[in-house]
Amino acid sequence: MSSIIRWEPAREMMSLREAMDRLFDDAFTRPLGIAGNNWSVPAVDMYQTDDEVVVKAALPGIKSDEVQINVTGEMLTIKGETSQKEEVKEKAYHLREQRWGSFERSVALPVAVVADKAKAEFENGILTITLPKAEEVKPKTITIKSK
């Protein structure tokens, strides 16, 4: 014999709300990609124009000579390493979120590029990589002739 349980939608909505609150708390209170003293996921934006693919990576506190950029086939890899600048001895840290150690981020390029003609600029902690598209993937305009 089964018992009938009255359905109360408000009770289920609260559990969904609690789950969403927990999800947002985890997303905003735990820095992404930090494991111990290492960090592995610099934030990256990528977009394309008719002629090039542009990748911007946020690398605050990193020097340009600490960064290496590689293009292998369809993958762009940004990696490097930075060391801790100072260690405060005999102090009790309340927060310790500054990043040091090795970092690496690989992203798939949306189209074929000419890696030999790529340019990279580093300004105010933002690395901008400009990759010209290969000729075969650039959009072609076809002129229509009227008769």
Question: In the chain, what are the domain boundaries?
Answer: 35-86+99-137
> For 76-122, what is each residue's pLDDT tens digit?
999 988 776 666 676 777 776 666 778 888 999 999 999 999 999 99
pLDDT of 115 reads 92
Pick 35-86+99-137's CATH classification: 3.40.50.720, 2.60.40.790, 2.60.40.650, 1.10.240.10: 2.60.40.790
Which neighbouring-strand residues pair with 48? 53
* CA atoms 107, 113, 114, 117: torsion sign: negative
Which residue pairs from 33-40 have beta carbons closer than 8 angstroms and sit at least 24 positions apart in sequence?
34/97, 34/99, 37/84, 37/100, 37/101, 38/101, 38/102, 38/103, 39/99, 39/101, 39/103, 40/102, 40/103, 40/104, 40/105
Instruction: Decide: helix, strand or coil at residue 2.
Output: coil
With beta carbons less than 8 A apart as the criterion, state whether 32 and 41 touch: yes
Report the distance separating Cα 133 and Cα 112, nearest Å.
6
pLDDT of 33 reads 46
Report the distance separating Cα 15 and Cα 66, nearest Å.
46
> For 10-60, what is each residue's pLDDT tens digit?
655 556 667 777 666 655 544 444 444 444 468 899 999 999 999 999 988
The answer to whether the pTM exceeds 0.85 is: no
What DSSP element (H or E) covers 52?
A: strand 52-58
pLDDT of 34 reads 45
